[in-house]
Chain A
Amino acid sequence: MAKKLMKGNEALAAAAIAAGATHFFGYPITPQSELIEYMAREMPKAGGCFLQAESEVAASYMVYGAGGAGARVITSTSSPGLALKQEGLTYMVAAQIPAVVINVSRGGPGLGNILPQQSDYFMCTRGGGNGDYYHPCFAPASVQECADLVTEAFDIADKYRMPVLILADGLIGQMMEPVEIKEATEKPIDKPWAADGGHVKRGEHNRINAMILPADGLEELNHVIQAKLKDYSENYVRYEAIDVEDADIVLVAYGTPSRACKNVLKKAKEEGLKFGLIRPISLYPFPKEAFDKINPNCKAIISVEQSCGQMIEDIRLSVLGKFPIKFFGRTGGNPIIPDAVYSYAKEVLGGKA
């Protein structure tokens, strides 16, 4: 397919339809509006179902119902809306329902504002609802990557019977870039566990349920979930590492701040400084192994985030004290400016920060 100029929000939606999503349930919230509007316009043309729910909570349970019935289903929202969807997410993990959930994140805490921010990292990577779980989480840094990750997210969701989250910051949602929407490669798999009214033919009734009362039964489910996460984590670690093998400073950034950091690397190179970059694409699992490749004499690692510092905790867990870890962040919706990162990184290099 030829490349088209699209907003990130539209590319996320277009890729979902191309990947065979037949159902979308969502609630309006800025800055993901183009996504829900694209779905309202295009999903019926593709023979699918778009339905605007009465709340994010209801949308997440429509997803629970549709995913449990065997459909490829997607919902999208922005930060405060994702907070409301966390109940649905933990239920989907427990009931083993596949779904794709998109968070085009904005400023917080609270209602915050509608500017891009990355302060949902914990909520998106830690299992934001109750109980012992994580779920896959990817963070695109370009419009093309938005599309590609959505395509793959559906296959992962079906394979592991889990919700998969795409964390795109508000800037990616809003910006336009050329993008190719790829057709789904993998055929949708059979879902013999689905509640599709086939109990008579099947000879037994399927139960989609997030509650197991006996201790041993619930323990067994938890082990099943953990085993799935282990297998997933061994197979879907994604990251981009640039020049880390001989870097004196390694920047770590995901989403749009990683693009600012690439400019910082360029500038550093021009001035003869050795900077590297690790860009996590999978936030869960966090790409720990990327940090093993860092120059052992590296002076410091700097976590660059549009937040007060959340991913930095995963960096600490990955580095385990081998390198000093510093933080550069802006919040409130303020952007990461390459010059500011560069100045700070030089101060770190000079032992002044």
Chain B
Amino acid sequence: MAVVYKKSPALTDAPLSFCPGCTHGIIHKLVAENLVELGVFDRAVGVAPVGCAALSDYFFACDMYVAAHGRAPAVATGQKRVHPDNFVFTYQGDGDLASIGTAEVVHAAHRGEKISTIFVNNAIYGMTGGQMAPTTLVGQKASTAPYGRSEEHCGKPIRIAEMIATIEGAKFVERVSTDTPANVRKAKKAIRRAFECQIQGKGYALVEVLSTCPTNWGYTPAGAMTWLQENMIPYYPLGNFKDFE
């Protein structure tokens, strides 16, 4: 019988811990497929965050770290400086990267670390149970913003891709989404390009992936996709912010 699809060898057989309808699983698959297709799986090292992906060290079949909250880019820096021939990626959520870890991601980009960051933005703290993130939209309800995020009280959500793109050492920055099959294909391509940025020694690369959190947003998986399309994409425009030659 012809094999038309099989799980990437860059993923283990461990069952994923993500909620139904969450797109972390898709994003894991895109990362894993790119590692194998680009031929870097056998020298890849990943750094997982604190957050929903804190168990990713069980899911990716390459050597893995779990960093402290927000510190993945610093851990990746240390690893890559020891083994410059390794392919090193961080996989971080929006609480991890856009709140507690802003210094680490900004300076990893600023130094032009030859690492790649997959930044999953679902506009909320998922693992701790739906608290407000720096990426939570104005008016969006969260367990620590029970009346909805107030711009007057805590500002507007932070746009990471646009910010990182202003940094010289960042050579590839793109925002993608996983809400439709077409966008999933585009996301895979962007991750591929980000990985090539590292492989070619160009510098730091970041792909921001808009993702859903049906559990904490309080929608069905399909409803969450619609909410992402109607609310997140208008504020977080998809597209490339920086590319290399």
Contacts and interface: CB of A to CB of B under 8 A. Distances in A.
A binds B: yes
Interface of A: 22-23, 25, 49, 51, 53-55, 57-59, 61-71, 73, 87-88, 91, 95, 195-201, 205-211
A65 B86 contact: no
A88 B68 contact: yes
B81 A208 contact: no
Interface-central residue, B41, B61, B79, by most chain A CB under 10 Å: B79
B82 A205 contact: no
Given A66-B82, A205-B61, A58 B66 contact: no
Contact of A65 (B78, B85, B106, B111): B78
Given A58-B71, A61-B68, A196 B63 contact: yes
**Top-9 shortest CB links A-B:** A65-B78, A61-B74, A66-B78, A62-B78, A54-B107, A65-B75, A195-B63, A69-B82, A61-B71
Interface size class of B (residues with CB under 8 A): 35 or more
B78 A208 contact: no
A62 B81 contact: yes
B81 A23 contact: yes
B226 to A, nearest CB: 33
A55 B103 contact: yes
Given A53-B74, A64-B67, A70 B61 contact: no
A87 B42 CA distance: 31
B78 A25 contact: yes
B63 A206 contact: yes
Contacts of A195: 45, 63-65, 79
Interface in B109-164: 111
A244 to B, nearest CB: 44
Given A57-B71, A61-B74, A197-B86, A66 B81 contact: yes
B236 interface: no
A62 B68 contact: no
A66 B45 CA distance: 12
Contact of B79 (A53, A66, A95, A199): A66
Contacts of A25: 78
8 contacts: A23-B82, A68-B65, A195-B65, A197-B42, A197-B62, A197-B85, A197-B86, A206-B64
A1 B10 CA distance: 50
Given A23-B81, A197-B86, A205 B75 contact: no
Contacts of A209: 57, 64-66
A19 B61 CA distance: 34
A28 B44 CA distance: 32
A54 B106 CA distance: 9
Interface string B51-93: 0001001101111111110010011111111110111000000
A207 B57 contact: yes
Nearest to B106: A54
A205 B63 contact: yes
B44 A197 contact: yes
B104 interface: yes
A197 B229 CA distance: 38
A197 B63 contact: yes
A199 B63 contact: yes
A203 B47 CA distance: 19
A210 B82 contact: no
Nearest to A196: B83
Contacts of A88: 68
Given A23-B81, A55-B103, A62-B74, A198 B63 contact: yes
Contacts of A69: 45, 78-79, 82-83, 86
B43 interface: yes
Contacts of A22: 82
Contact of A197 (B45, B77, B111): B45
A68 B103 contact: no
A25 B43 CA distance: 24
Contacts of A70: 82
Contact of A200 (B41, B58, B75): B41
Nearest to A71: B82
Contacts of A66: 78-79, 81-82
Contact of B67 (A51, A53, A61, A73): A61
Contact of A68 (B43, B54, B75, B77): B75
Interface-central residue, B47, B78, B103, by most chain A CB under 10 Å: B78
Contacts of B66: 207-211
A80 to B, nearest CB: 17
Given A64-B75, A68-B78, A87 B68 contact: yes
A58 B68 CA distance: 10
Contacts of A23: 78, 81-82
Given A61-B71, A66-B81, A196-B86, 18 more contacts: A23-B78, A51-B111, A54-B104, A54-B106, A58-B71, A62-B78, A64-B78, A65-B77, A66-B82, A68-B65, A73-B78, A87-B68, A88-B68, A195-B45, A199-B63, A207-B64, A209-B57, A210-B68
A55 B67 CA distance: 16
B82 A211 contact: no
Contacts of A61: 67-68, 71, 74-75, 78, 104
A215 to B, nearest CB: 16
Nearest to B43: A197
A208 B62 contact: no
Given A195-B64, A195-B79, A58 B86 contact: no
Contacts of A57: 71, 74, 103
